[in-house]
Structure 1
Amino acid sequence: MVTGDGAYIKKLNRNFILGKIVEHGMISRAELSKVTGLNKATISVQVAELLDTELIFETQQEHNVVGRRPIMLSLNRKVGCVLGIDLDYKEITYTLSDLLGFPLFSDTYELNSSNYDEIRELIANQIKSYQIKSADRRYGLVSVVIAIHGTVGKDETIFFIPQHQWRNKNLKADLEKDIEISVHIENNANLCAFAEKIFKHHHSDNLLCISMYSGIGLGIIMDGEVIKGYHGYAGEMGHMVLFPDGLPCKCGNKGCWELYASEASLFSLLSQKMNKKDIGYQDIQHWINTREPEVCEHMNRFIKHLSIGLNNIINLYNPETIVLNSELLHLYPNAIEEIKANLTSSVSQYRELVISDLGKNASIMGACAFGIKKFLEIPELSLELSDRLLPIETK
């Protein structure tokens, strides 16, 4: 039983009710009372206050039954916006979404520098431009969430970004000095896992999401909660050592998993082997389709090295759902079957292994969903996936 003063209990009830309204999309007061277990008087008071804040609105549901049409309650998605930012190595992606996660504007800008101050100023200016775009809404831009491809502490400070060689940067504090808005910093793999849970695998409380693009990151959800570890750095499985005397890594070790099983590592290797600069997914698709011998050989090694790391992770976490976020695996016929064939240990147990449908949008979708959940202060969030992705304009 939850105990506390009246204001605290009232806030808990408010958040619980609002969460159920979001979950159901449309729901009547009577049904709210049933699904929450709260009495009708409490529902009535809370709904009146939520209507006053314009966070929800009323509609009458169409039906063919004789009698009064029920009045339905829904979240007012148009009263505020959240901004998700994916800070990667060579580009920054911004997506402004409404309060149900539907994107309103999306842009990607190339990065030609790793200078911290330059990038901080660039991000600050873009946030200000999105504040202007959100100014006509009651709550305006309510939250900014930045996905970092590196280690982020529980206090949201950036410990290390290998690709940019940033160490101990407080981007949150530096941005909030110039901009009067809540800024959150989170590891991109955690946000990818969060997106998979919120948009796709709603009922999976034990989920692992492996992001395989510029490196390898692991987002861990256990018992419905994102696992961050003591300092917040849990999930850096890309730097799990596969080969003690292997290739040198920017982290300081040798033989790290991401040097053998990330998309960036395979692209770099095939660029050398095929003597072709700036290869893309279309090149690899062509080589796979034409069964180019050297490419097929390296793809087989890529699958093998990926499977070795997966076997270790499965033994550590015994997950329900494993999501591999990789565009490359979508190009490779029977990728999942070949990976499963390599997971032959009788000890390794999991329920399902899938390739993500969210792709490179997962991180920024997770960032937007994270911002929505923070703003609404609801205990659970579940959003629909359909019609979400907009074309991204490159600047």
Structure 2
Amino acid sequence: MTGAPALGALLASYRRRAGLTQEELAERAGVSARSISDVECGRIRWPQRRTRESLAEVLGLNDAEREEFLLATKTGKLSAPQAPVPPAVRRSPLPPGVTDFTGRAAEMTALAGLAESGGVAVLHGPPGAGKTTIAVHFGHTATASFPGGVAFVQGALSQDDLVAAVHGERVLLVLDDNSGAEELHAPPGCLVVVTTRRPRIADLALHVGPLPEALELLELIIGRDRLRAEPEAADEVVRLCGGLPLAVRIAANRLLSRPRWPVAHLAEVLRDSERGVRVLAGTDNRLVQALEASSRSLSAAALECVRTGGVPATAALRHELLSAGMLVPGADGGFSIAHLAQAYLIGQGVPVRADCHE
């Protein structure tokens, strides 16, 4: 091994695999950051017994790794050439679930059915449909079934990353916004729930569209009396939000913070594409960020379909818009452009650049 002495290089590689800075490792192990730095740089070759045992515990070493590490702390040498330790996939605790989770019984039942055998479940659909909310809510209900834990990982993950992330344990991993093209296979006994805007091959693929119980969600937040005082306006607010839970929650919280606003006033604001999207952005920019990310991936022809609300005639364009979550399947087998996506592009002043029917 070149560079730092054997112990220092080994400690640094295990620390990086655990996704920890020197300061974070020092805090968890109850030692000083200076001590960690000194060991990694070779200024300390034989740490005290308490320090080395604490480090081995915090780093989550398996039996063989622990034996090798403790040997190096006593002798400064390794028993055999050490292969580089792969970098860690940062596993975070699940975010808190929403307190107003509504509906999605079919999705929850399907995920529960896959939990026992394990596998990969993909939740795909338009921006704001609540894919992450479903995955996180299910994760909180399924902790007892996964003794290795339930964890949250954001961003693209390769198959090698996935295997490394589970450490051979029976775990549930929520891979949020995993846009990678690689097909994933769950390690034995594990359940991997992937959220993405694009359909993917998986053991279970669920399209998450508008929430059928969106009106119930609005009522849950603003109250029964206020909703029933203006039922038609409430229906219009839900329709203008595209039935998407994220948009409905934002709209409902807007009303909740403005008790003097009639529901009809909010509906009037939402009818105006530019004002409506601006109101729905408010202090919660997640919806606009999701719409922006989806629109950036579209061709000029697909963008024009969204802007004009025209369902494309060609299969290629339909596939492109479905993959981006901008085309919503209807109960009758047809399709429609997602209202909020159209409102966003109109509000952004996207010019006419192609014929969506070509």
Q: Please say whether Structure 1 and Structure 2 have the same fold, judged by a TM-score greater than 0.5.
A: no
> Counting helix residues as a fraction of each chain, which structure ranks higher?
2
- Greater relative CO (CA pairs within 8 A, separation 6+): 1
TM-score (norm 2): 0.26
Larger fraction in strand: 1
Q: Give the greater-gyration-radius structure (CA).
A: 2
Q: TM-score, normalised by structure 1?
A: 0.25
